[in-house]
Amino acid sequence: MVKYSCERCGKGFSQKSHYDSHNGRKTPCENNADKIKALVDKAVEEKLKELNNKKLIVKNKDVNENTDIMQPEKNQCKEVKYIDLFCGLGAFHTAFNRNNILQNKVKHTCVFACDINDGVRKVYEENFGIKPEGDINKINIDTMPDFDILCAGFPCQPFSIAGNQKGFEDKTRGNLFYALLKIIDKKHPKTLMLENVKNLHTIHEGKTFNIIKSELEKRGYNVSYKVIDSRYYKCPQSRHRIYIICNKDTSYTFREINNPIVPVSTIIDNSITDFFDYKQKFTLEKCNGKSMMKYKLINKKSGKGGRQGERIYDITKCGPTICASSGGPGGKTGLYEINGKFRTLSVKETLKMFGFNETYKYESLPNKKDMLFYLGNSIVVNVVEELIKDL
């Protein structure tokens, strides 16, 4: 039984005489106390490090798990692909690009475009970096990429009041609707966005529109449509067009939009000094009432006037429909009174009438005024931008 213990080396003794003898040695025993303490301290330190490392691993794991949970909601975007048929100047494309900025959870990507007009195709490529295909009837649908949304402002001339209203009797332009159906039958897109002139649903006592609606419903689409006036969509142009939106899963609901009227004065470039001198050929006839029109031009020889290209409009009000087919002194844009003088709108001003960006380019066109014809057949960006928010 140990009764005595050396404080230096830790050795134990049962008899005091042995303990005294040990302490009286000429050569002192080895001091193990400091070594033991050092070993204990080291063991404790290592254990603490081990425990701290385990805590750090667990903490990082929790952070990573939380990050993984939040990441899709915060950073990931769902990509929705669309095609732009009869693409024109790219009103659909412009509207989708703006919507990508407004709604970060969905990224819309154009994967295909087509238009029969060579000049339009060059301008479209210049602005969006996509070279459109040509005639829709010559497209190889089998090589067309898959997509979610089909956009098409299919040709309106066969149905337009300004045209001959032959509808499907027009063997070339009127039957292009069936070219759309061929693409739909092969690709089965979830959503369709179609645009046309306002009287599409009334021409031929509604028979033409009933054919369109019936063909789309046969393919499983819920068909919604509405005639929209662009003046209520923050656009300084009154342009009535019918929009047909079809979904396979749900019925699209058109929200009521009734923004304050934006006057033409907001897009006027006051640095332009090229005005029209009407006095040689015309006299002015003042218009009464609250119309957007201020004067009519009356031909001095014939005594006739007042056609679309012979009207002068008030810049403090909304402007009329930009028309590709109108002629006369105010052809395409109409004439406007600016500081007591009259002139048509410039290309840049007309682009703004449709809601296109100020940075829109058309350097590829040898004749820049061709843009006025293309714009006369264009879709208003502001309207499409609002509609796609509810797709």
Give catalytic residue positions. 156
**Spatial contact of 152 and 194, defined as CB atoms under 8 Å apart:** yes
How far apart are alpha carbons 291 and 295 in whole angstroms?
10
**Cα 138 off chain centre by:** 28
* Half-sphere CA count of 155, side-chain side, radius 13 A: 24
Annotate 138-203 with DSSP letters as a single string.
Answer: G--GGGSPP-SEEEE----TTT-SSS---GGGSTTTTTHHHHHHHHHHHH--SEEEEEEEGGGGTG
Mapping DSSP to helix (H, G, I), strand (E, B) and coil, where does residue 311 land? strand
How far apart are alpha carbons 163 and 165 in whole angstroms?
6
Q: Give the pairing type, strands 222-229 and 149-152.
A: unpaired
Closest CA to 78 of 105, 99, 100, 98: 105
In degrees, rounded to 5, the angle at the alpha carbon of residue 146 between the alpha carbons of residues 145 and 147 is 115
